[in-house]
Chains A and B, each alone.
Chain A
Amino acid sequence: MDELKLYTYIAVFGSFALYFAIAWWARAGSTSDFYVAGGDITPLQNGMAIGADWMSAASFISMAGLIAFLGYGGSVFLMGWTGGYVLLAMLLAPYMRKHGKFTVPEFISDRYYSKTARIVAVICLIIASLTYIIGQMKGVGVAFSRFLEVDYGLGLGIGMAVVWVYAVLGGMKGITYTQIAQYCVLIFAYTIPAVFISLQLTGNPIPQLGLGSTLADGSGVYLLDKLDMVVTDLGFKEYTTDNMGGTLNMFAYTMSLMIGTAGLPHVIMRFFTVPSVQAARSSAGYALVFIALLYTVAPAVGAMARLNLMNTIEPAAGQNLEYEARPQWFKDWETTGLLKFEDKNGDGKITYVADAEKNEMVKVDRDIMVLANPAIANLPNWVIALVAAGGLAAALSTAAGLLLAISSSISHDLMKGVLTPNLSDKNELLAGRIVMTIAILISGYLGLHPPGFAAGTVALAFGLAASSIFPALMMGIFAKKMSGTAAVWGMCSGIGVTMLYVFQHKGIMFIPGTSFLGDMGPDWFFGISPNAFGAVGALVNFAVAFIVVRFTGPAPTHIQDMVDNFRSPYGKIEAAHDH
C-alpha cells in the first residue's frame, strides 16, 4: 500500500471512529431528544452544527469548481447561500422557535389551521430533501472510489451504514454533536490546502488576502489580473467580469438561492434545538460565521485552481505541455473519465483554448477541481488524505440532517399529526427510527442508480423551498390576517408556476422531449434561467395569497392572537420541549 493510501485510510476511518464514539455518548432517549436534541444546544454549538449541516458535498466539492469556471458569475452561489441566513435570522427563526414545535409543517399547520397546508408542506419537504440526499450519496460513493479505490457501490454502502448508526441511534442529539466534529474536520480539510496554495502563489498565507495580492514570482502582477490575462488570451471570457446570463439573471438567481436557503426545512428545524428566542437569533449569527469561513475561502480556491491548471498545461505562452509528460494527477483523473484529452492537431501537445474546434481538453469536469487541487499544486500526501475525509464529512453531515427532516415529517406530521393522532411518545420514537432506516435505504438505492434527472434537481429543491415554504412562513409571521385558504392557494400557485417553468425547460420530471408548450427558446422569461426562477415563483405566491385573502376574509381572531404571542419572546411557549 502506498503512502497516500495509508494516510487516506487513517484520515477516513479515524474520523468515522470519532463520529461513532460521539453518537454512542449522545444517544436519544425521548422524542424531544430525537427531533430537537432536547432543546438545549448552545448557540455556538448549534452554529457549528448548522454549518456542517448546510455545507454539503456541493459546497465542499462542487462550488469552488463552479467558481473556477464561471468567474464573477459564480458569485451568485457565494451571496445566495450566505445571504439567506440574514433572512432566516430576522424573518423566520426567532418566531418559529418561540412557537416551539418540532417541525416546519407543524408550524404551518398551526398557523394556517389546516391539514391541507400541512400535507402540502410535507410533500414539498420530502421532495426537496430526497433530491438533495441523492447528491450527498453520490458524493460519498465518488470520494470512496477515487481515494480508496474501492467499488462505488461498496463505498456507498459503508457511507449508508455510518449514517445509519449515528442518525438512527442519536436522532437530532447524536446528529448535532457529530456534526460539530464534522464541521471541524471539513473546515480544516478545506482551508489547509488553500493556505498552502495561497502561500505558493502569492506568499500570503490567508487565502482571502492572497486572492487580492500580487504573485510571488517577482513580476509584481496581481493574481486576478494575471488570471484575466491568461484566460482571455486563450479566448475565454474575462474571469472577473464574466456575468452568467446577464444582470437580471444574476439578480434573480441570487434572490432564488437566498430565499430558497431560508425556506429549506432541514435548516429551519435547527433553530428549534436551542433553548430560547435570543439563542435562536445568535445561532444564526454563529452559523453564518462558520459558513463564511468556507465561503470566503472558496473564491480563492476557485481562482487559484484555475490559474494552476492553466499554468500546468501552458507554462509559458506557446509552450504547451507534452501529453506524454503529463503529471500523475492528470492520469488519475483520466481513468475516472472526468478528464479527457483528444489530440486533434496531432502534435502530441495539449492545447486548451475556448474555441471548441481547436480545444483538446474535451472534458474538464468542474467537480474535480477541489479534489485535484492539492495534487495539482504538489502538496504533501497527508493534505490530500485530509481532503478525502473532509469531503466525506461534508456529505455525511448533510445527509444526516436531511434524513432527520424526512423522518420527522413522516412520523410526526403525517402519522402523529394526521393519520394516528394517539401515537404514544415511545412508539413515535420507534416510528421515527424505522422511517429513517427506510429513507436511508431509498436514498442509497437512488445513489446507486441515480435517476436521469439527478443533475437538474438542485433547481427543483431550491425552487420548491423558495416558491412555497419561504413565502408561507413569512406571511404567517408578518401578515397577521393571512388566512389558511389564501396561504394554500399561494403555495400551490407558487409551486405550480415554478415547476411549469422548470419542466418546460428540462422536460416533465426531466424527461427530455416532453416540454409541453412547444418551443419557446431557452430562458424566454426575460432571460431568467430555470435555476433562478424560484424568486418569480415566490412573487406569484405572495401576490395570489394577498388577492385571495381580500376576497375570502382574514384569519380568525384566536389565530391572530397566536401570531401576537409568537412575535414576542415573552409568555407561554406552546412547545412540548419541557418534559
Chain B
Amino acid sequence: MEGETTYWQENLRLIFISLVIWFVVSFGLGILLVEQLNEFRLGGYKLGFWFAQQGSIYTFVALVFWYSAKMNALDKKYKVEES
C-alpha cells in the first residue's frame, strides 16, 4: 500500500495546483480584482472583463488537458494503468 499512498498524494498535489489556478483566473481576476485589472487593456477589452468573459474559459480548457496528461504520466509511473 506504500506506493498507493504516494500515488494519491501526488494526485492531490496536482489537484491542488489546478484548483488554485482555476480559482485565481475566475474568482480572482474575473471577479475580486476586476476593477483594478480593468485599468489595463487587451485590445478593445478591459482586462478584468476579458478574464471574466473569455480568459477564464480558455484557462479551464488548458487546465483539464494539463491535469489529464499529468495523471496519465502518474498512472504509468506507479504502474496503476487499467488492465
Contacts and interface: CB of A to CB of B under 8 A. Distances in A.
Interface of A: 67, 72, 74-75, 78-79, 82-83, 85-87, 89-91, 94, 208-209, 211-214, 222-225, 240-241, 243, 247, 250-251, 254-255, 276-278, 281-282, 284-285, 288-289, 292, 295-296, 299, 564, 567-571, 573
Contacts, number: 144
A37 to B, nearest CB: 18
A214 B61 contact: no
A575 to B, nearest CB: 12
Interface string B44-83: 1110011011101110110111011001100100011111
Nearest to B44: A222
A86 B75 contact: no
A18 B79 CA distance: 44
Central interface residue in A223, A276, A288, by most chain B CB within 10 Å: A288
B61 A282 contact: no
Interface residues on B, range: 35 or more
Given A86-B64, A213-B44, A78 B27 contact: no
Contacts of B75: 277-278, 569-570
Contact of B80 (A72, A208, A243, A568): A568
Prevailing SS type, chain B contact patch: helix
B15 A90 contact: yes
Given A211-B44, A285-B61, A569-B80, A89 B4 contact: no
A240 B60 contact: no
A15 B38 CA distance: 44
B40 interface: no
A573 B83 CA distance: 10
Given A86-B60, A241-B35, A278-B68, 20 more contacts: A67-B53, A72-B49, A78-B52, A78-B56, A89-B68, A90-B18, A91-B15, A208-B54, A224-B45, A241-B34, A250-B31, A251-B32, A254-B26, A254-B31, A277-B82, A278-B75, A278-B81, A292-B58, A570-B75, A570-B79
B80 to A, nearest CB: 4
Contact of B31 (A89, A90, A214, A247): A247
Given A222-B43, A241-B38, A278-B72, A251 B58 contact: no
A285 B7 contact: no
A72 B52 contact: yes
Contacts of B68: 89, 278, 281-282, 284-285
Nearest to A251: B31
Given A86-B18, A254-B31, A285-B65, A214 B44 contact: yes
A564 B32 CA distance: 38
A97 to B, nearest CB: 10
Which among A72, A91, A276, A564 has the highest number of chain B CB atoms within 10 Å?
A72
A557 B59 CA distance: 39
A292 B55 CA distance: 11
A85 B56 CA distance: 12
Chain A CB count within 10 A is highest, among B53, B68, B80, for B53
Nearest to A565: B4
Contacts of A213: 43-44
16 contacts: A72-B52, A75-B30, A82-B57, A86-B60, A208-B54, A212-B43, A241-B46, A247-B32, A277-B75, A278-B68, A278-B81, A281-B67, A281-B71, A282-B68, A285-B65, A568-B7
